[in-house]
Structure 1
Protein backbone atom coordinates (compact mmCIF):
# COMPACT_ATOMS: atom_id res chain seq x y z
CA UNK A 1 0.00 0.00 0.00
CA UNK A 2 1.27 3.47 -0.91
CA UNK A 3 1.57 6.02 1.88
CA UNK A 4 -0.29 9.13 0.70
CA UNK A 5 0.47 11.15 3.82
CA UNK A 6 2.58 14.13 2.85
CA UNK A 7 4.74 15.89 5.36
CA UNK A 8 4.40 19.64 4.87
CA UNK A 9 7.60 21.41 3.94
CA UNK A 10 8.34 24.22 6.38
CA UNK A 11 8.50 27.71 4.99
CA UNK A 12 11.87 28.68 3.64
CA UNK A 13 11.39 32.16 5.07
CA UNK A 14 10.12 32.43 8.64
CA UNK A 15 7.18 34.77 9.20
CA UNK A 16 7.39 37.54 11.75
CA UNK A 17 4.89 36.74 14.53
CA UNK A 18 3.16 40.13 14.08
CA UNK A 19 2.52 39.66 10.34
CA UNK A 20 -0.54 38.20 8.62
CA UNK A 21 -0.07 36.70 5.16
CA UNK A 22 -2.77 34.71 3.39
CA UNK A 23 -4.48 33.64 0.19
CA UNK A 24 -8.20 32.93 0.50
CA UNK A 25 -11.42 32.27 -1.42
CA UNK A 26 -13.34 34.20 1.24
CA UNK A 27 -14.15 37.90 0.87
CA UNK A 28 -11.50 40.21 2.32
CA UNK A 29 -12.28 42.57 5.19
CA UNK A 30 -10.87 46.10 5.52
CA UNK A 31 -11.75 46.08 9.22
CA UNK A 32 -9.94 42.78 9.81
CA UNK A 33 -6.82 43.87 7.94
CA UNK A 34 -6.73 47.24 9.68
CA UNK A 35 -7.08 45.48 13.03
CA UNK A 36 -4.24 43.10 12.19
CA UNK A 37 -2.00 46.06 11.27
CA UNK A 38 -2.89 48.02 14.40
CA UNK A 39 -0.28 48.28 17.14
CA UNK A 40 0.20 50.78 20.01
CA UNK A 41 3.64 51.70 18.59
CA UNK A 42 2.15 52.78 15.24
CA UNK A 43 1.86 56.41 14.30
CA UNK A 44 0.46 55.39 10.92
CA UNK A 45 -1.28 52.49 9.22
CA UNK A 46 -1.40 52.61 5.45
CA UNK A 47 -3.88 50.29 3.73
CA UNK A 48 -4.01 49.61 0.00
CA UNK A 49 -7.20 48.02 -1.28
CA UNK A 50 -7.28 46.61 -4.81
CA UNK A 51 -10.81 46.27 -6.20
CA UNK A 52 -12.37 44.87 -9.34
CA UNK A 53 -13.18 47.77 -11.64
CA UNK A 54 -15.93 47.86 -14.26
CA UNK A 55 -13.62 48.37 -17.25
CA UNK A 56 -10.04 47.84 -18.40
CA UNK A 57 -8.66 49.98 -21.22
CA UNK A 58 -12.22 51.08 -22.02
CA UNK A 59 -13.48 47.50 -22.36
CA UNK A 60 -16.41 46.59 -20.04
CA UNK A 61 -15.57 43.89 -17.48
CA UNK A 62 -18.22 41.38 -16.36
CA UNK A 63 -16.14 39.81 -13.55
CA UNK A 64 -12.61 38.57 -12.75
CA UNK A 65 -11.33 35.15 -11.77
CA UNK A 66 -8.09 34.83 -9.78
CA UNK A 67 -5.87 31.78 -9.51
CA UNK A 68 -2.56 31.41 -7.70
CA UNK A 69 0.16 28.95 -6.94
CA UNK A 70 -0.51 29.46 -3.24
CA UNK A 71 2.63 27.96 -1.62
CA UNK A 72 4.90 30.10 -3.78
CA UNK A 73 2.69 33.19 -3.45
CA UNK A 74 2.89 32.93 0.34
CA UNK A 75 6.68 32.61 0.12
CA UNK A 76 6.74 35.80 -1.96
CA UNK A 77 4.52 37.51 0.65
CA UNK A 78 6.95 36.39 3.39
CA UNK A 79 9.92 37.71 1.44
CA UNK A 80 8.16 41.04 0.93
CA UNK A 81 7.57 41.30 4.69
CA UNK A 82 11.22 40.41 5.41
CA UNK A 83 12.40 43.04 2.92
CA UNK A 84 10.10 45.65 4.45
CA UNK A 85 11.53 44.99 7.89
CA UNK A 86 15.07 45.25 6.51
CA UNK A 87 14.41 48.54 4.68
CA UNK A 88 12.05 50.11 7.27
CA UNK A 89 13.29 48.56 10.52
CA UNK A 90 10.70 50.29 12.71
CA UNK A 91 7.83 48.48 10.95
CA UNK A 92 5.45 46.95 13.48
CA UNK A 93 3.01 45.00 11.30
CA UNK A 94 2.75 43.79 7.70
CA UNK A 95 -0.52 42.37 6.39
CA UNK A 96 -0.91 40.93 2.88
CA UNK A 97 -4.17 39.16 1.97
CA UNK A 98 -5.12 38.16 -1.58
CA UNK A 99 -8.27 36.53 -2.87
CA UNK A 100 -8.70 33.78 -5.42
CA UNK A 101 -11.80 32.63 -7.25
CA UNK A 102 -14.55 34.64 -8.94
CA UNK A 103 -14.81 38.32 -7.97
CA UNK A 104 -17.53 40.70 -9.10
CA UNK A 105 -17.21 44.40 -9.84
CA UNK A 106 -16.41 46.32 -6.65
CA UNK A 107 -15.11 43.33 -4.68
CA UNK A 108 -11.71 43.54 -3.01
CA UNK A 109 -9.04 41.35 -4.60
CA UNK A 110 -6.05 42.34 -2.45
CA UNK A 111 -5.43 44.17 0.82
CA UNK A 112 -2.00 45.30 1.97
CA UNK A 113 -1.51 47.13 5.26
CA UNK A 114 1.66 48.31 6.96
CA UNK A 115 1.87 49.76 10.45
CA UNK A 116 4.86 51.93 11.34
CA UNK A 117 5.74 54.72 13.79
CA UNK A 118 5.73 57.32 10.97
CA UNK A 119 3.55 57.86 7.88
CA UNK A 120 6.45 58.22 5.40
CA UNK A 121 7.81 54.75 6.05
CA UNK A 122 4.29 53.27 6.19
CA UNK A 123 3.42 54.73 2.76
CA UNK A 124 6.74 53.63 1.25
CA UNK A 125 6.55 50.12 2.69
CA UNK A 126 2.94 49.64 1.58
CA UNK A 127 3.78 50.82 -1.96
CA UNK A 128 6.78 48.49 -2.04
CA UNK A 129 4.61 45.58 -0.88
CA UNK A 130 1.90 45.92 -3.54
CA UNK A 131 4.32 46.71 -6.36
CA UNK A 132 6.54 43.74 -5.49
CA UNK A 133 3.56 41.42 -5.04
CA UNK A 134 2.19 42.38 -8.46
CA UNK A 135 5.54 41.73 -10.16
CA UNK A 136 6.67 38.60 -8.31
CA UNK A 137 3.74 36.59 -6.95
CA UNK A 138 2.44 33.69 -9.08
CA UNK A 139 -1.10 35.05 -9.29
CA UNK A 140 -3.15 35.20 -12.48
CA UNK A 141 -6.44 36.81 -13.29
CA UNK A 142 -8.90 35.97 -16.01
CA UNK A 143 -10.80 38.99 -17.21
CA UNK A 144 -14.31 38.06 -18.28
CA UNK A 145 -15.63 40.72 -20.63
CA UNK A 146 -19.24 41.81 -21.11
CA UNK A 147 -19.05 40.60 -24.74
CA UNK A 148 -18.52 37.00 -23.49
CA UNK A 149 -14.80 36.77 -24.27
CA UNK A 150 -12.09 36.32 -21.63
CA UNK A 151 -8.33 36.71 -21.26
CA UNK A 152 -5.81 35.33 -18.71
CA UNK A 153 -3.26 37.88 -17.48
CA UNK A 154 -0.41 37.60 -14.99
CA UNK A 155 -1.03 40.31 -12.40
CA UNK A 156 2.56 41.42 -13.04
CA UNK A 157 1.42 42.55 -16.47
CA UNK A 158 -1.50 44.58 -15.11
CA UNK A 159 -1.60 48.34 -14.99
CA UNK A 160 -0.93 50.13 -11.71
Structure 2
Protein backbone atom coordinates (compact mmCIF):
# COMPACT_ATOMS: atom_id res chain seq x y z
CA UNK A 1 0.00 0.00 0.00
CA UNK A 2 1.31 3.40 -0.96
CA UNK A 3 0.00 6.94 -0.49
CA UNK A 4 1.98 9.90 -1.86
CA UNK A 5 0.97 13.53 -2.16
CA UNK A 6 2.19 17.13 -2.34
CA UNK A 7 0.02 19.35 -0.12
CA UNK A 8 -0.40 23.11 -0.61
CA UNK A 9 0.11 24.80 2.77
CA UNK A 10 -2.56 27.40 1.90
CA UNK A 11 -5.23 24.70 1.73
CA UNK A 12 -4.25 22.08 4.31
CA UNK A 13 -1.77 21.19 7.05
CA UNK A 14 -0.05 17.82 7.10
CA UNK A 15 -1.67 15.47 9.60
CA UNK A 16 -0.25 12.56 11.57
CA UNK A 17 -3.86 11.37 11.94
CA UNK A 18 -4.17 10.99 8.15
CA UNK A 19 -0.94 8.98 8.10
CA UNK A 20 -2.03 6.80 11.01
CA UNK A 21 -5.38 6.01 9.38
CA UNK A 22 -3.66 4.99 6.14
CA UNK A 23 -1.07 2.62 7.64
CA UNK A 24 -3.19 1.19 10.46
CA UNK A 25 -3.74 -2.56 10.12
CA UNK A 26 -3.72 -5.64 12.30
CA UNK A 27 -1.33 -7.17 9.73
CA UNK A 28 1.53 -5.01 10.99
CA UNK A 29 3.35 -5.17 14.30
CA UNK A 30 5.44 -2.02 13.88
CA UNK A 31 4.76 1.55 12.80
CA UNK A 32 7.20 4.42 12.43
CA UNK A 33 6.18 8.06 12.01
CA UNK A 34 8.79 10.53 10.80
CA UNK A 35 8.00 14.23 10.68
CA UNK A 36 10.23 17.00 9.47
CA UNK A 37 9.48 20.35 11.09
CA UNK A 38 10.65 23.93 10.64
CA UNK A 39 13.32 24.69 13.23
CA UNK A 40 14.34 28.11 14.52
CA UNK A 41 18.07 28.07 13.76
CA UNK A 42 20.11 26.98 10.75
CA UNK A 43 23.75 27.81 10.00
CA UNK A 44 23.76 30.30 12.91
CA UNK A 45 20.83 32.23 11.41
CA UNK A 46 17.53 32.78 13.24
CA UNK A 47 14.80 31.29 11.08
CA UNK A 48 11.16 32.47 11.28
CA UNK A 49 9.73 30.29 8.49
CA UNK A 50 10.42 28.35 5.31
CA UNK A 51 8.88 28.40 1.86
CA UNK A 52 8.96 25.05 0.05
CA UNK A 53 8.69 24.82 -3.71
CA UNK A 54 8.69 21.71 -5.83
CA UNK A 55 8.27 20.30 -9.29
CA UNK A 56 5.18 18.35 -8.24
CA UNK A 57 5.09 15.79 -11.05
CA UNK A 58 8.77 14.96 -10.64
CA UNK A 59 8.45 14.81 -6.86
CA UNK A 60 5.60 12.30 -7.12
CA UNK A 61 7.62 10.31 -9.67
CA UNK A 62 10.67 10.33 -7.36
CA UNK A 63 8.56 9.14 -4.39
CA UNK A 64 7.21 6.28 -6.51
CA UNK A 65 10.73 5.34 -7.69
CA UNK A 66 12.07 5.40 -4.13
CA UNK A 67 9.22 3.13 -3.01
CA UNK A 68 9.88 0.68 -5.85
CA UNK A 69 13.64 0.68 -5.19
CA UNK A 70 13.01 0.05 -1.50
CA UNK A 71 10.97 -2.99 -2.56
CA UNK A 72 13.92 -4.41 -4.46
CA UNK A 73 16.73 -3.44 -2.07
CA UNK A 74 15.05 -4.11 1.28
CA UNK A 75 12.78 -6.99 0.26
CA UNK A 76 10.02 -6.07 2.72
CA UNK A 77 7.00 -7.82 1.26
CA UNK A 78 4.13 -6.57 3.39
CA UNK A 79 4.10 -2.89 4.22
CA UNK A 80 2.14 0.34 4.13
CA UNK A 81 3.85 3.63 3.24
CA UNK A 82 2.44 7.15 3.56
CA UNK A 83 4.46 10.11 2.24
CA UNK A 84 3.23 13.70 2.13
CA UNK A 85 5.33 16.84 1.60
CA UNK A 86 4.16 20.40 1.86
CA UNK A 87 4.48 23.13 -0.76
CA UNK A 88 4.28 26.76 0.32
CA UNK A 89 5.08 28.75 3.45
CA UNK A 90 5.41 27.19 6.92
CA UNK A 91 5.95 28.81 10.30
CA UNK A 92 8.28 27.52 13.00
CA UNK A 93 7.29 24.10 14.30
CA UNK A 94 4.98 23.26 11.42
CA UNK A 95 5.35 19.90 9.66
CA UNK A 96 6.97 19.89 6.21
CA UNK A 97 7.02 16.14 5.59
CA UNK A 98 5.40 13.03 7.02
CA UNK A 99 6.68 9.56 6.30
CA UNK A 100 4.73 6.81 7.99
CA UNK A 101 5.51 3.14 7.49
CA UNK A 102 4.02 -0.03 8.86
CA UNK A 103 5.65 -3.43 8.57
CA UNK A 104 5.45 -6.83 10.23
CA UNK A 105 8.56 -6.18 12.35
CA UNK A 106 10.25 -3.12 13.92
CA UNK A 107 13.62 -3.58 12.22
CA UNK A 108 11.87 -3.50 8.83
CA UNK A 109 9.96 -0.34 9.76
CA UNK A 110 13.08 1.49 10.94
CA UNK A 111 15.12 0.54 7.88
CA UNK A 112 12.35 1.40 5.43
CA UNK A 113 11.57 4.78 7.02
CA UNK A 114 15.25 5.77 7.06
CA UNK A 115 15.76 4.65 3.47
CA UNK A 116 12.81 6.71 2.25
CA UNK A 117 13.77 10.00 3.96
CA UNK A 118 17.43 9.76 2.95
CA UNK A 119 16.54 9.11 -0.69
CA UNK A 120 13.97 11.93 -0.74
CA UNK A 121 16.59 14.35 0.60
CA UNK A 122 19.05 13.26 -2.11
CA UNK A 123 16.77 12.98 -5.12
CA UNK A 124 13.46 14.77 -4.95
CA UNK A 125 13.20 18.23 -6.59
CA UNK A 126 12.05 20.13 -3.51
CA UNK A 127 13.58 23.52 -2.69
CA UNK A 128 13.65 25.44 0.60
CA UNK A 129 13.77 29.20 1.06
CA UNK A 130 14.51 30.15 4.65
CA UNK A 131 13.15 33.41 6.03
CA UNK A 132 15.17 35.10 8.79
CA UNK A 133 14.50 37.54 11.64
CA UNK A 134 16.47 40.27 9.82
CA UNK A 135 13.89 40.36 6.96
CA UNK A 136 16.26 38.50 4.65
CA UNK A 137 15.77 35.12 3.03
CA UNK A 138 17.90 32.57 1.18
CA UNK A 139 17.23 29.59 -1.05
CA UNK A 140 19.22 26.77 0.51
CA UNK A 141 21.73 24.75 -1.41
CA UNK A 142 20.37 21.29 -2.10
CA UNK A 143 22.00 17.95 -2.65
CA UNK A 144 23.41 17.32 -6.12
CA UNK A 145 21.36 14.91 -8.21
CA UNK A 146 24.50 13.26 -9.59
CA UNK A 147 27.05 12.32 -6.96
CA UNK A 148 30.68 12.60 -7.96
CA UNK A 149 32.93 9.63 -7.34
CA UNK A 150 36.02 10.28 -5.26
Using the size of structure 1 for normalisation, the TM-score is 0.83
Matches within 5 A, 1:1-150: 18-25=1-8, 26-86=12-72, 87-150=74-137
C-alpha contact (below 8 Å) 1:66/1:101 kept by paired residues: yes
In the TM superposition, structure 1's runs of 4+ consecutive aligned residues that sit over 2 Å from their partners are 88-91, 154-157
Counterpart Cα distance in 1 of 2:37 and 2:6: 15
Instruction: Give ranges in structure 1 of 5+ residues lacking alignment.
Output: 1-17
The structure with higher relative contact order (CA 8 Å, sep 6+) is 2
Counterpart Cα distance in 1 of 2:141 and 2:94: 19
SS of structure 2 residue aligned to 1:78: helix
Q: CA deviation at 1:85?
A: 2.2
What is the alpha-carbon root mean square deviation over aligned residues? 1.3
Q: CA deviation at 1:154?
A: 4.8
Counterpart Cα distance in 2 of 1:92 and 1:40: 12
Instruction: Give ranges in structure 2 of 5+ residues lacking alignment.
Output: 145-150
Is the radius of gyration larger for structure 1 or structure 2? 1
C-alpha contact (below 8 Å) 2:76/2:108 kept by paired residues: no
Change over 3 Å in CA distance of 1:62–1:41 after alignment to 2: same
Counterpart Cα distance in 2 of 1:55 and 1:143: 10
Counterpart Cα distance in 1 of 2:13 and 2:54: 16
SS of structure 2 residue aligned to 1:147: coil
SS of structure 2 residue aligned to 1:73: helix
SS of structure 2 residue aligned to 1:33: helix
